Each structure stands twice: as C-alpha cells, then as structure tokens.
C-alpha cells in the first residue's frame, strides 16, 4: 500500500516548497509520486482550487482537516494503481500513464461495487461506498490533478485513445480479479460488517515491551508521558484523549461545536464524575473514588468519540492516582484549569504537541535501542488492541487446558471470538448487524470487566515502575 507522510525539517524532499503542513505520497515500492505531490503542494496551500482556477498568491489556505482529506483521496487512488488485481489487463499502472477511463471506469466501478474497500479486503463483504461522501470526491480530486498536470506539462496532454470494447473487457477482468483475491470462505461469511477506514500508522506491528519502556524513558514533558500511557492503556483515539480528559470540581464551558453537535449545555457549568449524566462525559474519576481504600483495580468513565458516540472506557486506578498527584501539584492558567494534561506554561496540551513529543521520544529511543521504532499515536491504539487480544486469548487457552504458545489458527479464532465484541466497544468501532451489536452489549455487561482485569494485569506488568 502507498503511504501519506508529512515532511520533517531534517529531510530533503524533492519539490518541497517550504510548507511543512502539506503531506506527500510515497508508493508501495518507495517511489516518490511526483505528479500528485506537486499537485498537493499547490492544492493544499490554496494556490489551486478543485475547479482548476489558479492563483499567484494563495487565495485561502484549506483547513488541516481538508488537507488531510485531499491527501487521502489521492493516496487511495495511488494504492489502487499499485494493486495489480484492480486492473489486470493494464498491469501495474504508473501515475504518469493513467488515462481518464482508468479513473472513470475501472476505479469508479470498483468502489461502486464495493470491491475496493477495506471492508471487502478484511471480511469479503461487498459494501459499496457512498457516492456523495466518498466516491464522488475521490473521482473529482484525481481527475482534477490530472487536468492540472496536463496543463503544467507534467504529463502528456494527448494520450492514446482506448476503444470502448477494450475498456469493457478491462472492467470485466478487473471485477473477476478483485473477486478472486478474497477466499470463498470469507465471501460466504454471513456477517456483513461496516468497516471504517483507519488512519494508516505506517507499520501495523505492535510495539514490544522493550520498545514501550525505551519510549517511556525518553519523554521530556511529564504530561505527554502520561498522555502516552493513557493512550496506550485505553485505546482511545488521540483526539478523544485530548477532548475527554476533564477534571471534576472545575467550571468548564464546552466549545460551540460540542454544544451544537453533542447538545452540551451552553455556557460554563460545574463538572463532576457521574457516568449517568451525559453532561459529564469526558470527566475522569474524582480523587475520593480513586484514593478510596476499596477502590477497584479498574475505574470507568465515559468519553465522546467519533460520530458523537458515547462509550465507556476503563483506566487502572493505580495510574489514576499518579495522574491526580501530578495534576494537584500543577497549576493551570484560567482557561486550562479543567484540563488534565498541561504544558510547562500551564496551558492545555494539544494533539499536535503530543504528536510532536512522541516523534521526539521515538528518535531518542531509537538511539537507545539502536534500531528504528515504528511508533505513531495510532500505533499505540493498535498496540492496545493487540495486547488486549493476546492477553485474553492466552488466559482463555489456559482455562481450557491449552498451551497459549501452541494454538492453532482455529483455536485462536475461536478463543478470540468471545473477546472481539468487548474490544470493538472499547475502541469505539461499530457493527451494522443488530445481532452482533447485542452480542457486544452482552459481552460488555457480563464478561467485559473480567476481560479488562486480565488485560490490566498485562498492562501493569508491561509498564512496571513507570506507572
């Protein structure tokens, strides 16, 4: 798969025009996709509109969210170019050799039929993408990039014509080829799950315990170290962690966006730890609960995630004690008193600050270990999921008299099937099928805490004295 990367000031990148917030695309073979990257420089700095209108000086810079979306539209198409099965009659397509019908016939049809989705590759279930939100914007962006490249002389304006019959044969071959890459067992699987695209962390390998410990030693800002542990130990998304770390007993005013989309109260109000009151979503357990003599190993609190979905997560009480000791000795500025994690100036730590410090800690940890560490914020979320599954599958194996180190694929799948609904809930993922949703609710109600206790023991062992 191709990768969407953001430049580092220490890197020398071809054609970079001094804007470190514009991403660039690297192909599956490490090739720098020059045409798309030049287009991204113009499009993401506001010098080029999707309509094709150009400006000497930027008209209006797109938001970071829009830049991210533009980059991922071209990234998806680049990954399609590198997939031989998506266009077997054409072979591996180079970005400079693409014709309009490749985009408007082959690429479009693969998405319309649900054959070019992560849902299909993971489960074998065809889930056609929504045209207005996914297919249309991708097609428009890709075709606009090629019109711009042709106008700028980056590609040949006069490309060869492909007859209609040849295009039809290519489309038919692509359909059969894409169907053949998924095992028949998956294609006949009864569950149809809606799979949401995830941010690509670059390397899906989970971090080892040695890598985790090395990273923890290399954080200079204490609050970011705590953020790192909280991120890893709960599986929250980074944006969720930043927005859902509020202190009980403080006065807080939700943003206008939160008031509008999640219907939180307008104006300031007093926060308290209450898992029954929707207004208190994102408020961590209070000191009275955390420092109680009979405090359980894991304490719950609710967070607001993607698509305004509220879910419950669980945090080690031993770690919450450390968090409260840190926060009670740290003074925040007027606008940050309700935020758990602060920088050295007493202001709330932002998502960008956490990302920056994780990247800096990675560099120091790589020197410490003498090898690369593939860590990004999203890799921590993936590591949480892997540790959770591994710990609970091993525990279930022991209970049934099996050796956790010598499980067959079927045994791993059977033992993990019972855990998956709980993990999906913790991560904030959703199934479409009602029966699966009921299973998840049942698992959380009767088995969730049991699984979490097993997982908590693994987390405490992995982090050891760093809690």
- Tell me: the pLDDT tens digits for 159-171? 678 888 889 999 9
Q: pLDDT at residue 432 above 50?
A: no
In 243-351, where do the E strands start and end? Answer: 251-252, 269-270, 298-304, 310-316
DSSP letters, 83-107, are -GGGSTTT-SPPGGG--HHIIIIII
pLDDT tens by residue, 211-223? 999 999 999 999 9
- What CA–CA distances, in Å, run from 389 to 74, 216, 330? 33, 23, 36
pLDDT band at 109 (very low <50, low <70, confident <90, very high): very high
Residue 370: the pLDDT is 93
Please choose, from the candidates 423, 406, 396, the residue with its C-alpha nearest in 3D space to the C-alpha of residue 311.
423
Tell me the pLDDT band of 441, cut-offs 50, 70 and 90. Answer: very low
Q: Is the pLDDT of residue 282 over 80?
A: yes
Distances from the Cα of 460 to the Cαs of 220, 247, 294, in angstroms?
A: 22, 24, 19
So what's the pLDDT on residue 259?
75
What does the pLDDT average to over 194-211? 58
CA dist 43 to 6, 60, 459, Å? 15, 10, 44
Per-residue pLDDT at 423: 72
- Decide if pLDDT at 452 tops 90: no
Structure tokens that stand for 73 in this block: 């539209």
Tokens of 154: 């980056």
Q: Which residue has the higher pLDDT, 224 or 29?
A: 224
**Ranges assigned E (strand) in 16-76:** 24-26
Residue with the bigger pLDDT between 312 and 383: it is 312
The two three-digit tokens of residue 132, written as one number: 């207005």
Cα–Cα nearest to 99, from 52, 158, 53, 46: 158
Cβ proximity of 458 and 387 under 8 Å: yes
pLDDT in tens, 234-254: 888 888 888 899 999 999 998
Say whether 407 sits in a helix, a strand or coil: coil
The mean of the pLDDT values for the chain is 80
Which range is least confidently modeled, 30-34, 362-366, 440-444, 459-463? 440-444
Looking at residue 61, the DSSP 8-state letter turns out to be P
Determine the Cα–Cα distance for residues 122 and 191; give it in Å rounded to an integer.
Answer: 12
Which one has a higher pLDDT value, 243 or 190?
Answer: 243
């Amino acid at each position: 798969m191709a990768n969407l990367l953001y430049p580092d000031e220490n890197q020398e990148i071809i054609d970079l025009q001094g804007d470190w917030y514009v991403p660039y695309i690297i192909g599956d073979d490490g090739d720098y996709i020059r045409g798309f990257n030049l287009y991204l420089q113009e499009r993401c700095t506001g010098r080029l509109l999707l309509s094709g209108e150009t400006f000497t000086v930027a008209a209006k810079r797109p938001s970071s969210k829009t830049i991210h979306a533009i980059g991922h539209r071209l990234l998806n198409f680049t990954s399609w170019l590198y997939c031989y099965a998506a266009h077997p009659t054409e072979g591996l397509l180079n970005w400079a050799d693409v014709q309009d019908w490749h985009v408007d016939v082959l690429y479009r049809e693969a998405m319309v039929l649900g054959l070019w989705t992560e849902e299909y590759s993971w489960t074998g279930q065809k889930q056609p993408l929504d045209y207005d939100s996914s297919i249309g914007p991708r097609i428009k962006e890709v075709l606009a990039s090629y019109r711009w490249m042709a106008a700028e002389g980056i590609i040949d304006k006069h490309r060869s014509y492909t007859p209609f019959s040849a295009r039809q044969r290519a489309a038919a071959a692509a359909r059969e080829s894409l169907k053949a890459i998924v095992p028949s067992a998956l294609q006949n699987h009864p569950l149809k799950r809606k799979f949401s695209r995830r941010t690509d962390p670059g390397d899906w390998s989970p971090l080892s315990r040695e890598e985790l410990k090395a990273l923890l030693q290399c954080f200079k800002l204490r609050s970011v170290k705590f953020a790192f542990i909280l991120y890893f130990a709960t599986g929250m998304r980074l944006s969720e962690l930043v927005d859902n770390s509020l202190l009980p007993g403080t006065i807080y005013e939700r943003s206008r966006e939160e008031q509008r989309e999640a219907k939180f109260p307008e104006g300031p109000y007093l926060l308290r730890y209450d898992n029954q009151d929707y207004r208190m979503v994102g408020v961590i357990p209070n000191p009275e609960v955390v420092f109680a003599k009979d405090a359980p190993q894991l304490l719950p609190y609710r967070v607001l995630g993607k698509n305004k979905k509220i879910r419950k997560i669980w945090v080690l009480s031993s770690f919450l004690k450390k968090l409260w000791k840190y926060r009670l000795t740290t003074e925040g500025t007027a606008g940050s008193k309700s935020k758990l994690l602060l920088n050295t100036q007493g202001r709330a730590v932002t998502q960008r600050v956490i990302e920056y410090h994780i990247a800096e800690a990675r560099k120091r940890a790589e020197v410490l270990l003498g090898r690369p560490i593939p860590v990004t914020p999203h890799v921590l979320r993936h590591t949480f999921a892997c540790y959770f599954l591994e710990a609970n599958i091993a525990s279930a194996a022991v209970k049934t008299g099996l050796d956790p180190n010598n499980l067959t694929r079927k045994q791993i799948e059977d033992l993990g099937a019972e855990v998956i609904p709980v993990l999906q809930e913790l991560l904030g993922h959703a199934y479409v099928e009602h029966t699966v949703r009921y299973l998840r609710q049942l698992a959380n109600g009767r088995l969730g805490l049991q699984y979490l206790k097993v997982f908590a023991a693994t987390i405490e062992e992995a982090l050891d004295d760093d809690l």
